Amino acid sequence: MTDPLRKPTEGYAPPHPSRVSVVIPCYNHAQFLAEAIESVLAQSYSNFEIIVVDDGSIDHTAEVVRCYSLVRYVYQENAGLSSARNTGLRQSRGEFLVFLDADDRLLPHALETGISCMREHPECAFVSGHCRVIDSRGAILPSPRQLRIEREHYLALLRGGTYIWCPATVLYRRQIFDFVGGFDPTLKRVEDHPLYLRITRDFSVYSHNRIIAEYRRHLSSRLSRDVTAMQRGALAAHSAQWDFVKANSRYREAYDAGTRFWQNDYPFHEMVGRIRDIVRERLPPDAIVAVATGGHSELLRLDGRRGWHFPQEEQSSKGELFAQGAEGSVATPAWIDAGMTYEFSLYGGTDRSNLLARLLVRGVANPVLIASAESVPQEPAREDGVLLTAIPNPVPAAEEPGATNITWSTGNGSEGQVYLSGAGVYAGDNPADSDEAWDRLESARRKGVQYLIIPAKSFWWLDDYQKFRKRVEAQYETIVREENTCIIFNLGESSK
């Protein structure tokens, strides 16, 4: 298709050249709406219009909008997010469009970045970028790596999931909607994904890796009923691609992978995210947590809490040797992940068995916003000269794993050894019976583990090890029990 974005000849009203229409659908999100509007008004690119579509809100959405003379307010009876976006699309006059959810925020360079990419890639129907994830208070949360897809975007979407995390990171060429239509109001929870599929199937798009928006994640969005609705809608949109892909072997292969993703991987990823949310709300920042991971290390990214595989291979109580010498400074490789905590210990003495100092190093998505709650204070050299520090700490690890510099001194010129202790190594096999499971748990508890998390994916533990289950439930307090998510036991508190 040589000119996929040619102008239709009938019923065409030319948009305002270079203007970006920012459509903000809002349903009972008045408490966040001002932040969304302010984020648009703060843009470095000034040729924009703002349209707030009130989707039948019963809060004070209208009052918030009245505070901004530059914002156009459109009211409709409640019809859902897709309908509200379509209403905003019809009301808009810009050559380009951005759909900003009322609880999300644009970063100041978002529109300028999108317009620049569009000018560099005039053949594209939309350009998209990256976002960072924030909580209801605006604090930046750890998140997995975001992908940048350079080609075959449709194939990437067909394989399952989406490389576009946040609707506001997409800047559309208005004209594309004349060809593909708007958002499908019959689909709930997956309003964007079907549109991405329709566009990337027939038109060129471009993605970049600049962070241009903040995507707000709410605890309620990961409840099992919402995940089930999202999964059902995604599978429906995915199934709708079959007639197009069935004659192409590469597309069929990607389609099959996508089916597996939405049926199996997606619920697991959402379960992991929900566990993190619960841990953030219920467990202290310095908690040490054993997780029945089944070997899935992603379950150990607990927003700074120390996560251990359960069960894990027996290893030296010191951990893995990182460096040695009377003093020194060594940079770690770039493997420190956001949400993970690593322990460094300095040993000295004649047989290097005396613990001289211990230090926790945390990887964080944003050290400025998170450090106040979860940073680890750096201690100066003691009077005896012993020193163990990490700079930086916390370690920035937003887009890529981070690194830090470990500096140590035994204080008296004697040989020392620095050990690293992380999550341990998954044992790879299951306990032979309930007695062995209990022994492994008690061994972990003696080493400092304070909580046990059994994710829903590992609930079979409670069925296969009935005696283990009875002993744990009888001896330790259950602080979380959520169907389809996890059970958490407090190993420091008796249930009696």
Q: What local confidence, expressed as pLDDT, does residue 130 receive?
A: 95
Where does a domain end: 421, 448, 472? Answer: 421
**In terms of domains, do 307 and 342 share one?**
no
d(CA 94, CA 282): 46
52 φ/ψ sector (left φ>0, alpha ψ -120 to 50, else beta): beta
Where does a domain end: 406, 421, 436? Answer: 421
Mean pLDDT of 326-334: 91
Report the SS3 class of residue 405: strand
**DSSP assignment, residue 360?**
E
Task: Answer whether residue 258 is part of any domain.
Answer: no
Mean pLDDT of 473-487: 92
Tens-digit pLDDT profile for residues 87-136: 999 999 999 999 999 999 999 999 999 999 999 999 999 999 999 998 88
Q: What local confidence, expressed as pLDDT, does residue 226 receive?
A: 74
Asked if 141 and 173 count as a contact pair (C-beta separation under 8 A), the reply is no
Assign 355 a pLDDT band (cuts: 50, 70, 90): confident
Q: What local confidence, expressed as pLDDT, does residue 376 receive?
A: 46
Rounded to the nearest 5 degrees, what angle is found at the Cα of 247, between the Cα atoms of 242 and 251?
A: 65
Report the SS3 class of residue 382: coil
**In terms of domains, do 404 and 445 share one?**
no
**In terms of domains, do 83 and 205 share one?**
yes
Min mean pLDDT across 47-56, 168-177, 259-268 is at 259-268
**In terms of domains, do 413 and 469 share one?**
no
Mean pLDDT of 357-378: 62
Rounded to the nearest 5 degrees, what angle is found at the Cα of 358, between the Cα atoms of 354 and 362?
A: 155
The CA radius of gyration of the chain, in Å to the nearest whole number, is: 26
Tens-digit pLDDT profile for residues 269-300: 889 988 988 998 899 988 999 999 988 888 88
Tens-digit pLDDT profile for residues 15-39: 888 999 999 999 999 999 999 999 9
Asked if 110 and 168 count as a contact pair (C-beta separation under 8 A), the reply is yes
- Mean pLDDT for all residues in the chain: 87
Q: Distances from the Cα of 85 to the Cαs of 43, 76, 100, 181, 256, in angstroms? A: 21, 11, 9, 12, 31
Q: What local confidence, expressed as pLDDT, does residue 495 receive?
A: 58
Who contacts 178 (Cβ-Cβ below 8 Å, separation ≥6)?
A: 8, 12
**Proportion of the chain above pLDDT 90, given as a percent:** 58
Task: Answer whether residue 265 is part of any domain.
Answer: no
**In terms of domains, do 117 and 167 share one?**
yes
Tens-digit pLDDT profile for residues 182-206: 999 887 778 899 999 999 999 999 9
**In terms of domains, do 434 and 374 share one?**
no
Task: Answer whether residue 298 is part of any domain.
Answer: yes
**In terms of domains, do 186 and 137 share one?**
yes
Assign 317 a pLDDT band (cuts: 50, 70, 90): low
Q: What local confidence, expressed as pLDDT, does residue 190 receive?
A: 83
Report the SS3 class of residue 282: helix
**In terms of domains, do 447 and 406 share one?**
no
Who contacts 495 (Cβ-Cβ below 8 Å, separation ≥6)?
A: 473, 474, 475, 476, 477, 478
Who contacts 215 (Cβ-Cβ below 8 Å, separation ≥6)?
A: 104, 131, 132, 133, 134, 165, 166, 168
Q: What local confidence, expressed as pLDDT, does residue 222 receive?
A: 54
Judged against a pLDDT cut of 80, whether residue 86 lies above it is answered with yes
**In terms of domains, do 54 and 109 share one?**
yes
Q: What local confidence, expressed as pLDDT, does residue 129 receive?
A: 96
CATH of the domain at 302: 3.40.50
Q: What local confidence, expressed as pLDDT, does residue 373 receive?
A: 38
**In terms of domains, do 471 and 486 share one?**
yes
Judged against a pLDDT cut of 70, whether residue 12 lies above it is answered with no
Smallest Cα–Cα separation from 202: which of 167, 239, 157?
Answer: 157
Task: Answer whether residue 251 is part of any domain.
Answer: no
Task: Answer whether residue 240 is part of any domain.
Answer: no
Task: Answer whether residue 269 is part of any domain.
Answer: no
Q: What local confidence, expressed as pLDDT, does residue 342 receive?
A: 86
Query: Residue 406 sits in which domain range?
Result: 320-421
How many domains is the chain partitioned into structurally? Answer: 3
DSSP 73-110: EEEE-S--HHHHHHHHHHH--EEEEEE--TT-EE-TTH
**In terms of domains, do 382 and 484 share one?**
no
Task: Answer whether residue 6 is part of any domain.
Answer: no
Q: Is the dihedral of CA 434, 436, 440, 445 positive or negative?
A: positive
Alpha helix ranges (H) inside 315-458: 367-374, 434-446
Assign 380 a pLDDT band (cuts: 50, 70, 90): low
Task: Answer whether residue 456 is part of any domain.
Answer: yes
CATH of the domain at 204: 3.90.550.10
**In terms of domains, do 109 and 218 share one?**
yes
Q: What local confidence, expressed as pLDDT, does residue 484 receive?
A: 84
d(CA 293, CA 423): 11
Report the SS3 class of residue 491: strand
Tens-digit pLDDT profile for residues 215-269: 998 765 555 567 888 888 899 999 999 999 999 999 999 999 999 999 989 989 8
d(CA 220, CA 433): 37
Q: Is the dihedral of CA 385, 403, 320, 443 positive or negative?
A: positive
Where does a domain end: 175, 202, 223? Answer: 223
d(CA 475, CA 482): 20
